[in-house]
Chains A and B, each alone.
Chain A
């Protein structure tokens, strides 16, 4: 059973077809890339897979389950976690709380238990906190646990967002432009981090990225989309030499 199977995924917003018969298949364990010029529909595809939009047509099957009609938090509970193009951390909550709240689906107590502080509640809170500290420790962020994200430098905020996604113990980690806005030093750190996460946690990573350095050095398999449709797919070398890809990014004016 494939981890993720997407077929004929189409999304129309009014008259605009943002995604056109997209398909992909992830068995499990890959580190794949999704690239394309701005506005090609990459984030829309992520939004569809994570359940934020309901597709106009097509099918998304995750771990054998059709995600049609599921709300985003339900899709997440199945095992999908993501980060965002523009960092969407909760800025007035500590880093620790950010990571704990992301595990909301794992809390299995209600208001009554919460008020009475039943053992059930205490256990649940402890589990969530322990998991949060573990992931912070693993990503070298433990010293920032009580900081507010807005007090952290940009590169660290990106890292916190990844830690937050990881805390959900996903089977599929979707990274939406994780390298956006990073300087060169942070960039190398990020590449190492992603490689390490992939190896250490043995999860599937699917990445949207613009910076070719990141894509080419990390991804095993890359899909290129433009105007919502796949124009090429293959390993990094094939993609780099593909004339359609070059045309999509640079245009085809002959010099």
Chain B
């Protein structure tokens, strides 16, 4: 009984790790630009596909062990994915920011970019699903009555480490301070001698590379890739970030795991077809009760 519970908890932690990693990206961009980057879930998808191509390439070269390929794939995926994120920022969002466009227009652009990424993938690569190659053999550990794979553990550990790294960057480094400053007053920032564009690009690099990492880990855990995989996960990670309190990375992180828990628990008791439905409904309730999210702070409006 207790083993079943622990098993579920571990599953929830692993499942929630993906949401958390992606939610962190939403959170960073929102914190800095007050923009919901609706394309972020699709950047996760792009990351998974990039990982697939990179890994396949290295495997194709021959002579490299699975571990070696993995070691090469991780940084490359993160770098390439962050490049995609930066390109998106440069091409789609920056011109609007220059013009001082209404936030609504930027949000719509983000939504559309997401669709372009999804359908562009489908159009370019076709409908056939790709299978992510196995790089590392699965090792199952049995502790008590609970079985867990090395991959599951790795995912959870990576998520926690990523969070700690981000926390460190945001609260201890200069650029992290600049990121926080930008969220309070974007116009004062250049007056203080900090170029906002640099800060924004850095934010996108951070967020996108973690999404790419999540994509790689997800592809390793669930090897079938399809162009729309980012859409649903992206939406859910986004809702998780909002529930946690968008703009607070602690909230985003907690929200991701919370959603993971909700989903795993729901599946334990209800048929899996209603999993998404119940998850969305619960989250909707939380938002209705506390509109700024669990950890978020309300912005007061003065009249």
- A residues adjacent to B (C-beta < 8 A): 13, 43, 47, 52, 84, 88
| Chain B contact residues, CB within 8 Å of chain A | 300, 303
Chain A minimum-CB-distance residue to B302? A43
> Main SS of the interface on chain B?
loop
Chain A residues positioned under 8 Å from B303 (CB to CB): 43, 47, 52, 84, 88
The number of A-B residue pairs with CB atoms under 8 Å apart is 6
Can you give 5 A-B contacts (C-beta < 8 A)?
A13-B300, A43-B303, A52-B303, A84-B303, A88-B303
Chain A residues, CB < 8 A from B300: 13
List B contacts of A43 (CB < 8 A).
303
> Complex Cα distance A52/B300, Å?
13
CA distance A88 to B303 in the complex (A): 10
CA distance A43 to B303 in the complex (A): 8
Q: A234 vs B300: C-alpha distance in the bound complex, in angstroms?
A: 35
Contacts of A52 in B (CB 8 A): 303
Q: How far does the Cβ of A53 sit from chain B's closest Cβ, in whole Å?
A: 10
- Min Cβ gap A252→B in Å is 29
The complex places the Cα of A84 from the Cα of B303 at a distance, in Å, of 8
Measured in the bound complex, the distance between the Cα atoms of B302 and A43 in whole Å is 10
Chain A nearest CB, measured from B297 CB (Å): 11
Which 6 residue pairs spanning A and B have beta carbons closest together?
A: A47-B303, A52-B303, A84-B303, A43-B303, A13-B300, A88-B303
Expressed in whole angstroms, the minimum distance between the Cβ of B292 and any Cβ of chain A is 15
A180 vs B171: C-alpha distance when bound (angstroms): 42
Query: Which chain B residue shows the least CB distance to A13?
Result: B300
A139 CB to nearest B CB, Å: 24
Query: Measured between C-beta atoms, what is the minimum distance from B105 to chain A in Å?
Result: 17
Q: How far is the CB of A51 from chain B (nearest CB, A)?
A: 12
- Distance of B108 from chain A, by nearest CB (Å): 20
Shortest distance between the CB of A180 and any CB in chain B (Å): 14
Residues of B within 8 A of A88 (CB): 303
B181 CB to nearest chain A CB (Å): 23
Chain B residue nearest in CB terms to A47: B303
> Which single residue of chain B is at the shortest CB-CB distance from A86?
B303
Distance of A195 from chain B, by nearest CB (Å):
27
By a CB distance below 8 angstroms, the chain B residues around A47 are: 303
| CA gap between A91 and B300 in the complex, in Å | 23
Which residue of B has the minimal Cβ distance to A176?
B303
What is the bound-complex CA distance between A47 and B302, given in angstroms? 10
Q: In the complex, what's the smallest C-beta–C-beta distance from A167 to chain B, in angstroms?
A: 21
Rounded to whole Å, the gap between the CB of A81 and the closest CB of chain B is: 15
Across the interface, name the chain A residue whose C-beta is closest to B300: A13
A52 to B303, CA, bound (A): 10
Q: How far is the CA of A197 from the CA of B300 in the complex (A)?
A: 35
Instruction: State A88–B301 Cα separation when bound (angstroms).
Output: 14
A13 to B303: give the CA distance in the assembly, Å: 14
Query: Closest B-chain residue to A46, C-beta based?
Result: B303
**Which chain B residue shows the least CB distance to A52?**
B303
Query: A13 vs B300: C-alpha distance in the bound complex, in angstroms?
Result: 10
Q: How far is the CB of A161 from chain B (nearest CB, A)?
A: 14
A84: which B residues are within 8 A, CB to CB?
A: 303
Question: In the bound complex, what is the Cα–Cα distance between A88 and B302 (angstroms)?
Answer: 13
Q: How far apart sit A47 and B300, CA to CA, in the bound complex (Å)?
A: 14
Smallest CB separation, B233 vs chain A (Å): 38
CB distance from B258 to the nearest CB of A (A): 27
Query: Least Cβ distance of B173 to chain A in Å?
Result: 30
Q: With A and B bound together, what is the CA distance between A142 and B261 in angstroms? A: 64
Tell me, rounded to whole Å, the shortest Cβ–Cβ distance linking B216 to chain A: 44
Interchain CA distance A12-B295 in the complex, whole Å:
22
- In whole Å, how far is B42's beta carbon from the nearest beta carbon of chain A? 35
Closest to A14 in B: B300
- Alpha-carbon separation in the docked complex, A13 to B301 (Å): 12
Least Cβ–Cβ distance between A42 and chain B, in angstroms: 13
> Whole-angstrom distance between the alpha carbons of A204 and B300 in the complex?
32
Q: How far is the CA of A47 from the CA of B301 in the complex (A)?
A: 13
In the complex, A72 Cα to B303 Cα: how many Å?
A: 14
In the complex, which residues of chain B have a beta carbon less than 8 angstroms from the beta carbon of A13? 300
CB distance from B296 to the nearest CB of A (A): 16
How far does the alpha carbon of A5 sit from the alpha carbon of B150 in the complex, in Å?
A: 72
